[in-house]
């Protein structure tokens, strides 16, 4: 299986490149942010709890993110070539638990692709996205900045977890979408040919 963790701060382009990876390599897209937003709309117990954190730009509890991913793996494992994990894992606790979830299902993360984008560019992209996304956490510059801060403090360390496993690859995320996606594909094809 080809299991890609697509990593990077809010606004780095994870959603855009996930869509492209999914269609190029015939994978299943799992975005914990999208799944949580659906749960909020459906007013499930987890959605109601997660919303309290998400609206402020904080992370939802690890327990909720892990439960969602476990359920998705059970739903799709065996019926797909692999997954693109978009926005997960976001803490080192999630990363360690994720390894266990994958191992129990006889699979593993193939690689982490980390999209590197400068701070000023992230702010510009998120402000632009805010004009049409309708997301509460895009709606206010202080929440946008808080999400980037939460990324730097709680999520960035996840890179070290995958570096230690020799699965970490950095992608310079500035330039056109086509240019960046080409770099991503070069890495994926190298991994696949091993």
Tell me how far apart the alpha carbons of residues 105 and 98 are, in angstroms, rounded to a whole number: 11
Tell me how far apart the alpha carbons of residues 127 and 131 are, in angstroms, rounded to a whole number: 7
Q: Does 147 bind ligand ADP (CB under 6 A)?
A: yes
Residue 104 CB: number of other CB atoms within 10 A?
10
Contact region with ligand ADP (CB under 6 A), list: 58-66, 71-79, 116-124, 165-173: 58-66
Considering only residues 7, 83, 88, 181, which one is a binding residue for ligand ADP as defined by CB under 6 A? 88
Tell me how far apart the alpha carbons of residues 137 and 120 are, in angstroms, rounded to a whole number: 18
Considering only residues 60, 113, 169, 180, which one is a binding residue for ligand ADP as defined by CB under 6 A? 60
Tell me how far apart the alpha carbons of residues 15 and 177 are, in angstroms, rounded to a whole number: 12
Residue 88 or 181 with smaller CB distance to ligand ADP: 88
- 170 three-state secondary structure: strand
Contact region with ligand ADP (CB under 6 A), list: 54-62, 95-103, 114-122, 183-191: 54-62
Q: Does 33 bind ligand ADP (CB under 6 A)?
A: yes
- 2 three-state secondary structure: strand
By CB under 6 A, name the binding residues for ligand ADP.
10, 32-33, 36, 53-54, 57-60, 65, 87-88, 90, 94, 137, 147
């Amino acid at each position: 299986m080809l299991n890609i963790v697509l990593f990077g701060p809010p606004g780095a382009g994870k959603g855009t490149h996930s869509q492209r990876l999914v269609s190029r390599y015939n994978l299943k897209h799992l975005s914990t942010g999208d799944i949580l937003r659906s749960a909020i709309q459906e007013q499930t117990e987890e959605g109601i709890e997660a919303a309290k954190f998400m609206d402020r730009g904080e992370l939802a509890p690890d327990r909720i993110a892990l439960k969602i991913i476990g359920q998705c793996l059970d739903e799709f494992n065996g019926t797909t070539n692999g997954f693109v994990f978009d926005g997960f894992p976001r803490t080192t606790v999630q990363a360690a638990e994720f390894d266990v979830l994958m191992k129990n299902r006889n699979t593993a993360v193939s690689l982490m692709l980390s999209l590197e984008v400068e701070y000023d560019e992230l702010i510009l992209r998120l402000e632009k996205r805010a004009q049409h996304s309708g997301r509460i956490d895009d709606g206010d510059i202080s929440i946008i900045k808080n999400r980037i801060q939460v990324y730097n403090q709680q999520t960035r360390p996840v890179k070290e977890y995958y570096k230690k496993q020799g699965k970490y690859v950095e992608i310079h995320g500035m330039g056109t979408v086509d240019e960046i996606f080409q770099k991503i594909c070069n890495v994926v094809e190298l991994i696949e040919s091993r």
